[in-house]
Amino acid sequence: MSNFDHLNLDGRLLQLLVAVIDEGSITRAAEHLGVTQSAVSHLLDKLRGIVGDPLFVKSGRGIVATARAEELAVHARVLLDELRRFATAAEFDPTQLATTFTIAANDFQRDLLLPLLLDRLRAAAPGVTLRVIPSDVPTPEMLRDAHCQLAISPRPPEAGDILQKRLFEDSYRVFYDAACRTAPDGLDDYLAAEHVTVLYEPRRSLDIDNLLAAQGIQRRFVASVPGFAGIPSFLRGSRRLATLPGLLGGGLLHGLASVAPPLPCPPMPMYMIWHLRHRHDPAHSWLRAELEAIVPTALARAAD
């Protein structure tokens, strides 16, 4: 049981706890926060005394968070959001903002949108940094527990406290290596080919794969990869096909040929997704507006 006064807590201690958990290393946390390792160790000792828990224990050459530290980090993220709102409530000025926005996105959304977003954010707010984590298939808990402030996905989770807004929609294309084959000649040729797809963990297929399977359309999948970046190496030098969002042709699948699918496919929407508590947060509202602002440029570049 700790005898320390909870009023000894401050935002920097909360930020420290989150940084060490996110980075999994005192050294990397120190680099992220721009302080020395000894300063991080000193502040961790202070925090341990306040909460009465070791917080981190050695594991091999690294450290792992205790269950108590993981629990406290969930609350710390929420408190940091509240402190940020407290400081910016009067008049939001992005030039004075010094924070890290964590965005969950898979490789398609990440490469299409986030480099442009980072450039735009830092032009207005030099103190802002971006941390990108995989979104896989987003869950409400990802946003409730403040693992990220924003997710970008075609699959917004269904929950009353999760908000969403459509950013754009894409059309599906069938990708192939034109040096090894021609475009599939109709549905029979398409179905006779070997196919490659993306399969997120835990075993979540792409929406297009689920849709076609529900219509009784059976394809021969010979490989599945955990992200779009793994697709090109399975298509190049082969006669295989992959049915994927068309905008990938301007990025991760650049150089591969593509054609419209030989059967009707609905468009793929893309959403930004956030928790209800951020709805009126000035910094978060600014982040969402900046993301929306770069979408036309991102789509134009991908189409070139």
Report the candidate in 131, 129, 127 with the shortest Cα–Cα distance to residue 96.
127
Res 159: pLDDT = 87
* pTM higher than the cut 0.75: no
Structure tokens at 93: 């000025």
Q: How many residues does the chain have?
A: 304
Residue pair 173/246 in contact by the 8 Å Cβ criterion: yes
Q: What helix, strand, coil percent values describe the chain, rounded to 5?
A: 45, 25, 30
Helix segments in 61-106, DSSP class H: 67-88
Other beta carbons less than 10 A from residue 62's beta carbon: 11
Number of H helices and E strands in the chain, helices first, is 10, 13
Res 5: pLDDT = 60
Q: How far is CA 243 from CA 134, 173, 251, 262, in A?
A: 21, 6, 15, 11
Phi, psi of 57 (to 5 degrees): -130, 155
**Segments in the chain below pLDDT 50:** 1
Res 31: pLDDT = 86
Q: Report the alpha-carbon distance of residue 304 to residue 298 in Å, rounded.
A: 10
Res 1: pLDDT = 45
Residue pair 19/57 in contact by the 8 Å Cβ criterion: no
Q: Report the alpha-carbon distance of residue 204 to residue 220 in Å, rounded.
A: 17
pLDDT in tens, 272-289: 999 988 888 889 999 999
Beta bridge partners of 170: 268
Mapped onto helix, strand or coil, the DSSP state of residue 223 is: strand
Asked if the bond preceding 184 is cis, omega within 30° of 0, the reply is: no
State the Cα torsion 136-138-144-147 to the nearest 10°.
Answer: 20
Mapped onto helix, strand or coil, the DSSP state of residue 119 is: helix
Res 33: pLDDT = 83
Beta bridge partners of 100: 129
Q: How far is CA 190 from CA 104, 176, 219, 224, in A?
A: 34, 11, 8, 18
Angle at 19 between CA 13 and CA 24, to 5 degrees: 130
